[in-house]
């Protein structure tokens, strides 16, 4: 993954100067936002639903241990196996061992950010296994040798034209921009793979503790095939993705589909509770649930716990003007956009530049407004910024600048003097009443914007004068 | 224009207005006085501390904001011509002062802090301030005011009563202009990309004046308009309402 080694600024710069990316982002986010708005307007009281969803998520996190134990017990009662994976390495080892013990050669996959998080594909491929992504978007980026750039639309950064070229190159498709033809080409290529595969790996949208079930929502139907066609099904679930009952699930599904794609309900909702039973005609022989911790239990109970309420709908990404400008790859981690700027430093703190992501926000709050569980994303970003500063991660000029600022703001005489100097300086630099160049580190401002010179007299001075004149 | 019974309010103009755009402060003062409000500007008031807080330098923010809290103690209503600084006091002081000796004072201050248009419309019940502007106006909703203080409606009510003005709707009026404090400098490429979208929308809506309740957004938008040699101007809501558009400093 080359994106991990170049600096954040360069990734941003590359993204802003990539015309295909800009076109793709513009087309996709606009459509998502429009659909979401319609689907939300459809509900009598979406605000109340959000409230309820938030309470359900908060309640589940508060009783995480209890609910996870109940989920695991019930899964085992249904004949499934449960792996408690403390970190990515443990999860990878479990899945790889299983594949090797069962003589697995080909694996089909569907719907899993968690497997991206633990770099599962690389580990499996490294061991000589063939891994095929089956969701259209994931399949496209697998062909392109890239990583997902959106939580629910992994290939959002690709234009139709780019996808056409990929299919022509890898699948021998006749050049065409006709979307049904492109989809059919991919489907034909994938059908064969489903039949060949020995193992299917899926993600989990929600685990339902009382039922010992996992729930997967999708629109293409590939998750259904992934979880039923091969003889072994492995589901990977971040431990926070749990709810207690089907009642809770009903609420979460309503806000998820509306926030993610603007649908009332996704086309397919699969509820899976274990392997095929003796009297059942189909389904896998084995079902394994991997419960992935990977630092999550450290976050629970701390000042970032709220981030784990996320249901990965992607609404905050679509709403975010920063994401709209730079796309997902610029963030460098598995999760992108506003929630990614929080999750990446928490879940992948070793990633170089991870501490910079919380600064990639103007704190406009559009994400918090869009979030179906009302995660206070800007507040969390601000906490991460404070933590980074406490850990000595800042630009060299910042501490002295802050010190100077603080002295000036605390001491009226210094404040006045600073203002006079700024006024003098900016008037020297001004041409026709506008400053067109500021010295570093402020030169970023004047690259595409003018700056007004500081006023010759401050408001305070003008006010004093006015009072004297009576 | 109804003149209210005697009221007194502290006008906290914020550091940017004080030093860069004093005209906005004068406009705000005039607006309040015309409604019969006695305007008080306490000595030594400088800044709400937002810049350092947003940058993650909470100790510095704490020192500056703590001083501000002390100055504003027992001062009655506090009015700011800035939704962003208002949101800092009302929304973020809670976090900054949580568990400190200023906690109670911060909470109490939050309850009597208002943004200017909110104070005029919701507290004083004014809708027509007797202003005139002959031209086409579009409103940009500054993010913090919009999302953390529930602003937007008030500015439109006041502008609807400005004689001679035609108000047009700005596409994406609630989208961030890309300012975001140090964000505009540290992540200037992203900030510029956001500004360019805003400028395109402004050009599209056919206005000749963009009005916003936040001097920071105004600086960002005006800076972009000026650099792109647009004929459209940007100003603060208070300036239009006090008939001070284009009067400068
Ligand atoms: S933070 Fe909220 S809006 Fe963003 S993906 Fe998670 S649930 Fe959706």
Contact A362 B191 (CB under 8 A): yes
What is A236-283 written as a DSSP string? Answer: EEETT-EESSHHHHHHHHHHHHHHHTS-SS-SEEEEE-SS--TT-SSS
- Tell whether the model's pLDDT for residue A470 goes beyond 90: no
Name the pLDDT band for B69 (thresholds 50, 70, 90).
Answer: very high
What pLDDT is attached to residue A252? Answer: 97
Tens-place pLDDT, residues B80-105: 999 999 999 999 999 999 999 999 99
Binned at pLDDT 50, 70 and 90, residue A2 comes out as: very low
Residue A369 CA, ligand 1 centroid: distance in Å: 10
User: Which fold would CATH assign to domain B7-122?
Assistant: Rossmann fold (3.40.50)
Nearest-CA neighbor of A177 among A165, A169, A189, A193?
A165
Name the closest-CA residue to atom 4, ligand 1: A316
- Cα–Cα distance for residue pair B209/B165, rounded to 1 Å: 10
Collect all residues of chain A within an 8 Å Cβ-Cβ radius of residue B13. Answer: 459
State which of A281, A297, A313 marks the end of a domain: A297
In this structure, the dihedral spanned by the alpha carbons of residues A67, A71, A73 and A79, taken in order and rounded to 10 degrees, is 180
pLDDT of residue A441: 85
Domain total in chain A: 2
pLDDT-based confidence at A28, cuts 50/70/90?
Answer: confident
* pLDDT one-digit tens code per residue, B131-168: 999 999 999 999 999 999 999 999 999 999 999 999 99
| Cβ within 8 Å of A, B 96-135 | none
User: What does pLDDT average to over chain A?
Assistant: 93
Mean pLDDT of all residues in B8-34: 96
| pLDDT top residue among B248 and B186 | B186
Query: Which has more pLDDT, A441 or B76?
Result: B76
Is pLDDT at B127 greater than 60 in this prediction? Answer: yes
Residue A98: which of A67, A120, A72, A116 has the closest Cα? A120
Is residue A3's pLDDT more than 50? no
Q: Is A49 in the pocket of ligand 1 (CB under 6 A)?
A: no
**Is B189's CB within 8 Å of A13's CB?**
yes
- What are A185-211's pLDDT values in tens digits? 999 999 989 999 999 999 999 999 999
Alpha-carbon gap, residue A173 to A163, rounded angstroms: 11
Chain-wide mean pLDDT for chain B? 94
Q: Do A460 and B41 touch (CB under 8 A)?
A: yes
Cα separation, B149 vs B162, in Å, equals 24
DSSP string computed for A127-156? TT-EEEE-SHHHHHHHHHT----SSS-TTT
- Tell me the mean pLDDT in the region A424-428: 91
A6: contact with B, CB 8 A cutoff: no
Q: Could you please report the per-residue DSSP string of A276-338?
A: --TT-SSS-SEEEEEEE-TTHHHHTTSTTGGGGG-----HHHHH-HHHHHHTTGGG-SSS-HH
CA-to-CA separations, A273 to A99, A216, A233, A238, in angstroms, rounded: 21, 12, 11, 17
Q: How many CB atoms lie within 10 A of CB A67?
A: 22
The pLDDT confidence band at residue B249, using thresholds 50, 70 and 90, is very low
**Among A368, A447, A457, whose Cβ lies nearest the Cβ of B192?**
A447
For the four alpha carbons of A343, A344, A345 and A348, in that order, the dihedral sign comes to positive
Answer yes or no: are the C-beta atoms of A144 and A267 closer than 8 Å.
no
Least CB–CB distance from A369: residue in B92, B147, B190: B147
A1 confidence band (pLDDT: 50, 70, 90): very low
> Strand pairing of A213-218 and A206-208?
antiparallel
Helix (H, G, I), strand (E, B) or coil at B91: helix
DSSP E strands, chain B: 7-11, 37-40, 77-80, 113-115, 132-140, 163-168, 209-212, 233-236
Q: What is the pLDDT of residue B2?
A: 55
Q: Convert the pLDDT of each residue in A86-116 to its tens digit.
A: 999 999 999 999 999 999 999 999 988 999 9
Residues 6+ apart with CB under 8 A from A301: none
pLDDT of residue A127: 97
Judging contacts by C-beta atoms under 8 Å, the chain B residues touching residue A361 are: 180, 183
pLDDT digits (tens, 9 = 90+) for B212-233: 999 999 999 999 999 999 999 9
Query: Are residue A291 and residue A421 in the same domain, yes or no?
Result: no
Q: Quick one: average pLDDT of B231-244?
A: 96
- pLDDT, residue B70, reads 96
Domain that holds residue A416: 412-468
Q: What whole-number distance in Å separates Cα of residue A200 and Cα of residue A230?
A: 6
Which 3 state secondary structure label does DSSP give B50?
Answer: helix
Name every chain B residue with its beta carbon within 8 A of the beta carbon of A382.
53-54, 56, 92, 95
Least CB-CB distance to A321: which of B13, B176, B224?
B176
Q: Which fold has domain B127-241?
A: Rossmann fold (3.40.50)
- A461 token code pair: 């001075």
Name residue B78's beta-bridge partners: B10, B113
CA angle B82, B85, B91 (to 5 degrees): 125
Alpha helix ranges (H) inside A78-221: 88-101, 113-117, 120-126, 136-144, 160-171, 179-196
What residues does CATH 3.40.50 cover in chain B? 7-122, 127-241
Provide the pLDDT for residue B114: 98
- Model confidence at A78: pLDDT above 60: yes
The predicted structure's pLDDT at residue B4: 53
Per-residue model confidence (pLDDT) at position A44 = 85
Domain boundary residue, one of A252, A268, A297: A297
CA within 13 Å, CB half, A352: 9
Pair B39, B32: CB distance under 8 Å: yes
Per-residue pLDDT at A5: 56
**According to the model, what pLDDT value does residue B3 have?**
56
Is the predicted pLDDT of residue A304 greater than 70, yes or no? yes
Q: Where are the beta strands (DSSP E) in A417-456?
A: 430-431, 434-435
Q: What is the mean pLDDT of residues A204-224?
A: 96
Please provide the size of chain B in residues: 249
Task: Give contacts of A 80-99 with B, CB under 8 A.
Answer: none
ipTM entry: 0.95
pLDDT reported for residue A467: 86
> In a mutagenesis test of the A interface, which of B14, B55, B233 is the best target, namely the one with the most A β-carbons within 10 Å?
B55
Last residue of a domain, one of A277, A297, A317: A297
Question: How far is B171 from B194, CA to CA, in rounded Å?
Answer: 14
Task: Give the number of other CB atoms < 10 A from CB of residue A186.
Answer: 21
Residue B247 has pLDDT above 70, yes or no: no
Closest Cα in chain B to A408: B46
Gap between the Cα atoms of A345 and B78, Å rounded: 38
* Nearest-by-CA chain B residue for A437: B227
Q: What is the CATH number of the domain that holds A151?
A: 3.40.50.10420
pLDDT at A250: 96
């Amino acid at each position: 993954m080359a994106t991990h080694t170049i600096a954040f600024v360069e990734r941003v710069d590359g993204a802003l100067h990539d015309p295909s990316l800009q076109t793709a982002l513009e087309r996709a986010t606009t459509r998502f936002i429009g659909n979401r708005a319609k689907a939300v307007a459809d509900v009598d009281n979406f605000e109340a639903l959000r409230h309820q969803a938030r309470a359900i998520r908060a309640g589940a996190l508060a009783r995480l241990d209890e609910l996870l134990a109940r989920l695991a017990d019930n899964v085992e009662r249904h004949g499934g196996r449960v792996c408690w994976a403390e970190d990515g390495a443990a999860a990878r080892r479990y899945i790889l061992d299983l594949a090797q013990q069962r003589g697995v050669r080909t694996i089909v996959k569907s719907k899993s950010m968690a497997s991206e998080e633990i770099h599962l594909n690389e580990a499996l491929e490294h061991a000589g296994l063939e891994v095929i992504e089956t969701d259209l978007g994931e399949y496209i980026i697998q062909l392109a040798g890239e990583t997902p750039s959106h939580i629910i639309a992994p290939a959002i950064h690709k234009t139709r034209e780019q996808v056409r070229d990929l299919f022509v190159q890898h699948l021998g498709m006749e050049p065409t921009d006709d979307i049904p033809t492109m989809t059919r080409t991919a489907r034909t290529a994938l059908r064969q793979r489903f039949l060949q595969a020995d193992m299917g790996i899926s993600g989990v949208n929600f685990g339902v503790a009382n039922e010992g079930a996992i729930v997967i929502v999708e629109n293409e139907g590939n998750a259904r095939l992934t979880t039923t066609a091969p003889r072994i099904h492995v589901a990977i679930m971040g431990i926070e993705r749990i709810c207690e009952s089907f009642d809770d699930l009903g609420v979460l599904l309503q806000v998820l589909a509306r926030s993610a794609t603007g649908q009332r309900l996704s086309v397919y909702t699969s509820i899976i509770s274990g392997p095929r039973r003796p009297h059942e005609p189909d389904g896998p022989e084995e079902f394994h649930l991997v419960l992935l911790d990977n630092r999550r239990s450290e976050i629970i109970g701390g000042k970032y716990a709220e981030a784990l309420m996320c249901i990965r709908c992607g609404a905050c990404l679509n709403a975010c003007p920063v994401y709209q400008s730079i796309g997902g790859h610029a963030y460098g981690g598995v999760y992108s956009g506003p929630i990614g700027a929080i999750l990446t430093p928490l879940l992948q703190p070793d990633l170089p530049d991870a501490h910079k992501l919380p600064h990639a926000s103007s704190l406009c709050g559009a994400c918090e407004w869009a979030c179906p569980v009302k995660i206070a994303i800007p507040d969390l970003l601000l906490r991460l910024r404070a933590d980074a500063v406490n850990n000595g991660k800042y630009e060299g000029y910042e501490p002295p600048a802050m010190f100077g600022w603080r002295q000036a703001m605390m001491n009226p005489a210094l404040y006045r003097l600073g203002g006079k100097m700024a006024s003098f300086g900016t008037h020297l630099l001004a041409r026709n009443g506008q400053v067109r160049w500021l010295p570093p580190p402020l030169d970023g401002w004047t690259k595409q914007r003018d700056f007004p010179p500081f006023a010759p007299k401050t408001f305070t001075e003008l006010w004093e004068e006015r009072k004297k004149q009576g | 224009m109804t003149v209210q019974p005697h009221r007194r309010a502290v006008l906290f103009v914020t550091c940017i207005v004080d030093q860069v755009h004093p005209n906005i402060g004068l406009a705000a003062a005039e607006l309040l006085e015309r409604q019969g409000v006695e305007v008080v500007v306490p000595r030594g008031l400088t800044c709400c501390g937002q810049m350092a807080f947003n940058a993650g330098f909470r100790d510095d923010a704490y020192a500056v904001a703590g001083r501000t809290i002390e100055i504003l103690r027992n001062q009655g209503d506090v009015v700011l011509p800035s939704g962003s600084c208002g949101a800092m006091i009302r929304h973020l002081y809670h976090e900054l002062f949580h568990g400190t000796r200023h906690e109670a004072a911060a909470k109490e201050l939050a309850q009597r802090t208002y943004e200017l248009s909110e104070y005029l419309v919701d507290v004083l019940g004014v809708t027509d301030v007797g202003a005139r502007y002959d031209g086409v106006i579009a409103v940009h909703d500054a993010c913090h005011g919009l999302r953390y203080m529930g602003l937007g409606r008030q500015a439109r009510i006041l502008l609807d009563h400005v004689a001679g003005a035609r108000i047009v709707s700005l596409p994406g009026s609630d989208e961030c202009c890309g300012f975001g404090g140090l964000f505009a400098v540290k992540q200037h490429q992203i900030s510029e990309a956001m500004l360019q979208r805003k400028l395109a929308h402004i050009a599209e809506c056919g206005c000749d004046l963009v009005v916003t309740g936040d001097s920071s957004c105004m600086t960002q938008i005006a800076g972009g308009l000026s650099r792109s040699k647009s004929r459209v101007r940007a100003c603060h809501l208070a300036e239009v309402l006090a008939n001070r558009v284009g009067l400068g400093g």
